[in-house]
Amino acid sequence: MLRVDHAGELGAVRIYEGQLAGLAVHRNAKATLGQVQHMHHQEVAHLKHFEKTLPKHDVAPTMLQPIWKVAGTVLGLGTALWGPKMAHACTAAVETVIDHHYEEQIVTVRQEGDEELAEKLTQFQSEEVEHRDLALAHGAQDVPMFGMVRGLIEAGCRFAIKVSEKI
């Protein structure tokens, strides 16, 4: 579980870094840049937490880190180059999957009696939901073929979760 969470936060940091680079070329993206910087800052904090937590639980990071770094950057950059609303569509899709993923983990961790980890996951989940809701409030659903875009990105996220559980 921790390996997957670490991989996910690594991917999120890279998505937002890609979005920051891609949005920089748009004259109408100043507000979105500020929003993405805020989300990036939170994701960096999440990643740092898992970087400290993995060794404490004797868990190795996924061997797929190089792939997730590139994939996250490409996804973030590609959607942001399309424009602020497409960047928000990406965020909405990713954070929807992560919200459900964290919810399942919180239930499991509480059943196992690790309230400290459950509280941290609850905090992170709340921030991911904040990101999703912000993206939806700023036009994520206005992009052409939003349903298809969302579906593709969500499927990619679910694939990354499953693969990171194993490798």
The architecture in CATH of the region 2-166 reads Up-down Bundle (1.20)
What percentage of the chain has pLDDT greater than the value 90? Answer: 77
Q: How far apart are CA 133 and CA 96, in angstroms?
A: 9
Q: How confident is the model at residue 31 (pLDDT cuts 50, 70, 90)?
A: confident
What is this structure's pTM? 0.91
**Helix 146-166 × helix 65-82 angle, to 10°:** 170
Q: How confident is the model at residue 57 (pLDDT cuts 50, 70, 90)?
A: confident
Three-state SS letters, 29-45 = CHHHHHHHHHHHHHHHH
